[in-house]
Amino acid sequence: MNTKPQVLVIDDDAVVGRSFDRVLSGKGYEVSTALTGEEGLKNIESTEYDVVFTDIKMPGMDGLEVAERIKAKCPWTPVVVITGYGTEENEAEASLLGVNGFVHKPLTPEIIESITLKALEEPGEAMQAANEAEATPEITAEATISGIRKVGIIAKNIGLFFAAPFIALGYVIALPFVGVYMIVKLSKEAIEEKRASD
């Protein structure tokens, strides 16, 4: 029986997987890698991992969907999202999914080791999140994420509402200049046509 902590790294950049392997293998971990979200989920079917790292931006299934599926199947498994494309919206979605960490590339050996240790030291929080998810199944992560997106759309609409008068003012200011330009241009064309016909 393998007693080494099992680590899965899902990232379409093979260099990232090799970096985790190089840093963690010497520290007593067994590291597996997957280049796509689909491949990573297949690995989870056959192996129980102690911690999963997933990139957020990948072809096909993105890291947030991977995290959501892992948490639905194994809510106690720590999931850490790694990315070079961190946004507040992504971090909010990741937090709602119950991920254990959200770190930005580039990753140093120290960051890899410390975030792995932190994720493994917090099984209690992961179990608490799993119990809460079981107690309230009607409140899904998908519904919550959908709510965040709706709030974002509403915020954009409010911004456009307040910007509209300034946009209209810009048109009002520009309109006379455009009108004068068109009159001059048409007059010039008319004069040239008259000269050509004479």
| Bridge partners, 80 (sequence order) | 53, 101
- The domain defined by 6-138 carries CATH number 3.40.720.10: no
Please give the share of the chain, as a percent, with pLDDT higher than 90: 13
Query: Global pTM?
Result: 0.58
DSSP H helices, the chain, are 14-25, 37-46, 63-73, 88-96, 109-120, 123-135, 141-197
Task: Give the CA distances from residue 57 to residues 67, 171, 188, in Å, rounded to whole numbers and listed in that order.
Answer: 12, 40, 56
Q: Where are the domains of the chain?
A: 6-138, 140-198
Q: What is the pLDDT of residues 32-72, one digit of tens each?
A: 999 998 998 999 988 889 999 988 888 888 888 888 888 88
Q: What is the pLDDT of residues 105-147, one digit of tens each?
A: 888 899 888 888 888 887 544 444 433 444 444 444 444 555 5
| 140, 141, 143, 149 alpha-carbon torsion, rounded to 10° | 170
What local confidence, expressed as pLDDT, does residue 192 receive? 84
